[in-house]
Amino acid sequence: MKTLLIWDQFGEDDLRLYVIEDAPEWLVKCHQQYINAGAMTKEVDGFLSRINDALCETPEYYNNPDDALAGAWVQFKLNTSEIVDLTGPFQVVISGFVP
């Protein structure tokens, strides 16, 4: 199923949207979870790190450059300066980063 990932980088006025065609099943465990936002399981913390790497546009900032997801979702970023037409069923995951 397609996943609309809403990635919010608090404090940076930077809300990013991604449509991920075949998102891994664990992505939904990150809904309403934020990097640096307090108590979470080690599993979710690891998943958030993978998402962060998958969305990272600069390879030298990858936490784990050997992860197959590192940089892989950059291509799915939506241009939000225009109206985006989304069709079909989606699951929505809201997550992000708190500095």
Element (H, E) at 7: strand 2-9
Question: For the CA atoms of the chain, what is the radius of gyration?
Answer: 13
Range of the domain at 54: 2-97
| pLDDT tens-digit map of 45-99 | 999 999 999 999 999 999 999 999 999 999 999 998 888 888 888 999 999 999 8
C-alpha to C-alpha distance for 62 and 55, rounded to whole angstroms: 10
Residue ranges in 8-87 assigned as alpha helix (H): 42-55
Number of domains in the chain: 1
Encode pLDDT of 14-57 as tens digits: 789 999 999 999 999 999 999 998 888 999 999 999 999 999 99
CB–CB of 55/42 below 8 Å?
no
